[in-house]
């Protein structure tokens, strides 16, 4: 009886969500769109009928939720709704892409294929997630909706992450902050990007998340009153000028507040720019720029602006199409407030990103989506030149090149060029043309001679100086920033070294013949491993250049030592870490690493120096290649990359420590420099709390001081008590645990 009731309840929930989806899609449905969506829903429901999620709910609710995000929060149409409903069908059932194509056409089949089937064989040493991501980006050259639906899929997975085990939560959250949140940001989907960041913090450090959320809740009434008082004179002036507008006030996101707390080592109460006001104007597209500047002028007539905080993304939109005027002004209560001015069209593009461009394409012409198309072309260009790049290197290049801000510079003839922030004069040369980059001798910036490593600034006018005698060198890789320049330089160096490698190989073959060693690739690889080279081609180059003395071959027990090195290389490059001894012993014994009590677990581990975890921190174990298991804090800056790219090496860990155990950690203290304050600090630490200090240092300047204390504590509770006591000392401005 209970089973029947459960089935009936599930059907009602599924039907409710399906009808909700149809209501959201109704405004733009045409012809037989509703029938197509129903057909997709029925196929998905039938395919997933016996499947349930970790939470216990019917699996079909997941594709329904993804489709709801696609239509409601991203603003895509019928093709994307159908693709979202079917996005797991091919992967999880016997259906093939060909079956989808017969029923729904080639366009939807192609999107499903991009979402579910990753072509090619992965290199064993690559991270699967990184390689999947590269394969996924390849679909951008066909249909960007694949990426948009994938982001919707990730958003729903993050919203329902509570039902997953803790280690899975950390891995998925790390992937999200490492790849998906920046990608959503770059595609202009700011609300989704913000929610993904907040959800990352919720699962990686729930204590901090809850603390900030609680403080925001407690200050909500005061914030609402502040915003109401702040916008009152602005509304009055806008009304006097007969402008149609809407004003929204919002606090910063929990993630951005957490970032500020970390960077500035301050308390929540010390953050002054918690507020952002958005003024959205209803005006025809031809008057947008004038209207935005008019409103900006009205705001700055009332409140004094910070001249260093004006951002004009209307005259020069961001590469993802984002347009807005940003300024930070001083309120009458002495608090900084960020004011954003934009039109309804700009706001919809800012909220829904790439999808919103399609709506305005016909009205606004090519200009509306020119910036984002240029960015997508950059992705396609990166993908075309990076086929031989290792997957993890590719992800690093992708993040640094396509998720960063732009710098706007000019050619000698006044043509505007957009590069990533941090680009150098040499990057600019390769951006103009590969041959100009390869022959670049120097540059003139604003009529002054500068080196190749000169970092470009907004507004620079650059003239590249070339010479036919010039050629790329290894050093050039140290001061280029863009993937295009790096790849072209590496290609040139490879061509240059190929002939050198051939000569080096001939030298090795002659020496092998003399020593009666078989001439084959296996022994070449053993020799490379013996000299700690990545491959034997690099070894041949060094031998030809005289960096490795070939006469020393005979002086070493080459075959025995090289065989040992080769076995290590094989273990490290293996995709199955079962073959790696420490893990082979670890996996059958325990699924959770117990820290601090040697009687509970005999597995050796060490604490990572990058984040110095102590008892009580949320931590995980990471299995390294050569240093055993390293313990990291969940919020360690390196943890995101480790969990995202090497999730299969992550171990759950928990503390079971006794009070006699102590851990080294550090505090930073800022305050007013007064007589006796150092004595007050050390008295609390040593006398009151009986904590052993390893070192203490203070730097004073202009009546203030910055201090750093290294000490040994038992756990986070003891550390928290100490921080609270120190904050109460007269003259102390802030006390914080040092992250690294």
Residue 296's H or E segment, with its range, is helix 288-302
Task: Give yes or no for a contact between 631 and 619, defined as CB atoms under 8 angstroms apart.
Answer: yes
Phi, psi angles (nearest 5°) of residue 708: -135, 130
235 is catalytic: no
Distances (CA, A) of 375 to 132, 172, 404: 21, 27, 12
The four Cα atoms 166, 170, 172, 173 give a dihedral, to 10 degrees, of 120
Set 8, 91, 301, 506: catalytic member: 91
**C-alpha to C-alpha distance for 704 and 699, rounded to whole angstroms:** 8
Residue 666's H or E segment, with its range, is strand 663-672
Coil vs helix vs strand at 674: coil
Which residues make beta-bridge pairs with 443? 450, 464
92 is catalytic: yes
Set 8, 32, 46, 92: catalytic member: 92
**C-alpha to C-alpha distance for 632 and 311, rounded to whole angstroms:** 38
**C-alpha to C-alpha distance for 66 and 53, rounded to whole angstroms:** 14
**C-alpha to C-alpha distance for 739 and 614, rounded to whole angstroms:** 12
**C-alpha to C-alpha distance for 528 and 533, rounded to whole angstroms:** 5
**CB neighbour list of residue 303: distance below 8 Å, 6 or more residues apart:** 329, 330, 331, 332, 337, 339
**C-alpha to C-alpha distance for 126 and 573, rounded to whole angstroms:** 8
Phi, psi angles (nearest 5°) of residue 510: -65, -40
**CB neighbour list of residue 681: distance below 8 Å, 6 or more residues apart:** 669, 707, 709, 726, 729, 732
**C-alpha to C-alpha distance for 11 and 356, rounded to whole angstroms:** 34
Which residues make beta-bridge pairs with 607? 631
Task: Give yes or no for a contact between 426 and 454, defined as CB atoms under 8 angstroms apart.
Answer: no
Which residues make beta-bridge pairs with 407? 419
**C-alpha to C-alpha distance for 571 and 96, rounded to whole angstroms:** 36
What is the maximum alpha-carbon separation in the chain? Answer: 95
Count CA atoms closer than 13 A to 73's CA, side-chain side. 21
Q: What angle do CA 277, 182, 90 make, to 5 degrees?
A: 125
**Residue 527 corresponds to which tokens in the numbers above?**
């020799």
**Residue 55 corresponds to which tokens in the numbers above?**
């939470």
**C-alpha to C-alpha distance for 636 and 631, rounded to whole angstroms:** 10
Among candidate residues 499, 464, 460, 457, the one with its CA nearest the CA of residue 485: 464
**Residue 323 corresponds to which tokens in the numbers above?**
């347009």
Q: Checking DSSP bridges between strand 704-713 and strand 692-701, what pairing results, if any?
A: antiparallel
For the beta carbon of residue 60, count every other beta carbon within 10 angstroms.
25
Buried residues in 199-233 as b, exposed as e (16+ CB within 10 A): bbbbbbbeebbeebeebbeeeeeeeeebbeebbee
Instruction: Give the residue numbers annotated as catalytic, written as ranges.
Output: 91-92
């Amino acid at each position: 009886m209970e089973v029947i009731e459960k089935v009936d309840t599930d059907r009602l929930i599924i039907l409710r969500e399906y009808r909700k989806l149809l209501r959201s899609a109704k405004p733009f449905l045409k012809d037989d769109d509703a029938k197509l969506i129903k057909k997709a829903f029925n196929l998905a429901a039938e395919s997933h009928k016996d499947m349930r999620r970790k939470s216990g709910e019917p699996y079909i609710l997941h594709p329904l939720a993804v489709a709801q995000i696609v239509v409601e929060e991203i603003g895509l149409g019928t093709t994307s709704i159908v693709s979202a409903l079917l996005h797991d069908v091919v992967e999880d059932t016997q259906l093939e892409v060909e079956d989808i194509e017969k029923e729904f056409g080639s366009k939807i089949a192609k999107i499903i294929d991009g979402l579910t089937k990753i072509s090619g064989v992965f290199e064993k040493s690559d991270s699967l997630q990184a390689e999947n991501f590269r394969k996924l980006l390849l679909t951008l050259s066909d249909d960007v909706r694949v990426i948009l639906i994938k982001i919707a899929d990730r958003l729903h997975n993050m919203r329902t992450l509570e039902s997953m085990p803790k280690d899975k939560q950390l891995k998925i959250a790390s992937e999200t902050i490492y790849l998906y949140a920046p990608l959503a940001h770059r595609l202009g989907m700011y609300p989704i990007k913000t929610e993904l960041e907040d959800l990352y913090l919720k699962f990686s450090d729930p204590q901090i998340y809850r603390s900030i959320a609680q403080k925001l809740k407690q200050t909500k009434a005061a914030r609402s009153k502040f915003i109401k008082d702040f916008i009152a004179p602005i509304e009055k002036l806008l009304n006097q000028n007969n402008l149609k507008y809407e004003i929204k006030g919002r606090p910063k996101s929990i993630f951005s507040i957490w970032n500020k707390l970390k960077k500035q080592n301050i308390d929540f109460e010390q953050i002054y720019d918690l507020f952002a006001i958005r003024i959205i104007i209803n005006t025809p597209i031809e008057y947008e720029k004038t209207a935005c500047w008019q409103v900006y002028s009205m705001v700055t007539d009332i409140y004094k602006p910070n001249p260093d905080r004006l951002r004009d993304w209307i005259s020069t939109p961001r590469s993802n199409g984002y347009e807005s005027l940003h300024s930070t002004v001083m309120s009458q209560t002495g608090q900084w407030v960020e004011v954003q001015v934009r039109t309804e069209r700009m706001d919809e593009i800012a909220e829904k990103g790439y999808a919103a461009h399609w709506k305005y394409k016909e009205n606004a012409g090519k200009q509306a989506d020119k910036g984002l198309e240029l960015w997508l072309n950059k992705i396609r260009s990166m993908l075309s030149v990076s086929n031989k790049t290792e997957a993890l290197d590719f992800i690093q290049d992708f993040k640094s090149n396509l998720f960063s801000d732009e710098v706007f510079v000019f050619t000698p003839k006044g043509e505007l060029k957009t590069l990533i922030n941090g680009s150098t004069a040499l990057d600019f040369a390769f951006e103009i043309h590969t041959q100009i980059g390869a022959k670049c001798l120097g540059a003139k910036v604003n009529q002054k001679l500068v080196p190749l490593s000169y970092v470009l600034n907004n507004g620079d006018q650059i003239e590249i100086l070339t010479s036919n005698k010039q050629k790329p060198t290894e050093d050039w890789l140290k001061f280029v920033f863009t993937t295009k320049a790096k790849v072209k330089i590496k290609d040139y160096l490879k061509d240059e070294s190929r002939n050198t490698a051939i000569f080096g190989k001939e030298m090795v073959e002659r020496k092998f013949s003399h020593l009666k060693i078989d001439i084959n690739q296996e022994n070449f690889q053993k020799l490379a491993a013996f000299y700690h080279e990545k491959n034997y081609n690099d070894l041949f180059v060094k031998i030809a250049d005289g960096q490795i003395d070939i006469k020393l071959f005979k002086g070493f027990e080459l075959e025995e030592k090289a065989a040992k090195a080769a076995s290590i290389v094989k273990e490290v490059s293996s995709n199955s870490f079962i073959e790696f001894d420490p893990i082979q012993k670890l996996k059958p014994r325990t699924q959770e690493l117990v820290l601090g009590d040697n009687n509970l677990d005999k597995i050796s581990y060490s604490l990572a120096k990058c984040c110095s975890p102590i008892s009580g921190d949320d931590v995980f174990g990471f299995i390294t290649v050569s240093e055993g298991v390293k313990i990291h804090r969940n919020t360690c800056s390196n943890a995101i990359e480790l969990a995202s790219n090497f999730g299969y090496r992550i171990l759950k860990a928990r503390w079971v420590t006794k009070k006699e155990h102590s851990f080294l950690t550090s505090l930073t203290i800022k305050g007013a420099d007064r007589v006796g304050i150092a004595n007050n600090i050390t008295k609390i630490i040593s006398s009151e709390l009986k904590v052993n200090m390893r070192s203490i240092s203070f730097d004073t300047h202009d009546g203030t001081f910055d201090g750093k204390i290294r000490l040994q504590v038992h756990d986070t509770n003891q550390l928290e008590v100490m921080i609270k006591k120190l904050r109460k000392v007269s003259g102390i401005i802030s006390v914080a645990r040092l992250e690294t």
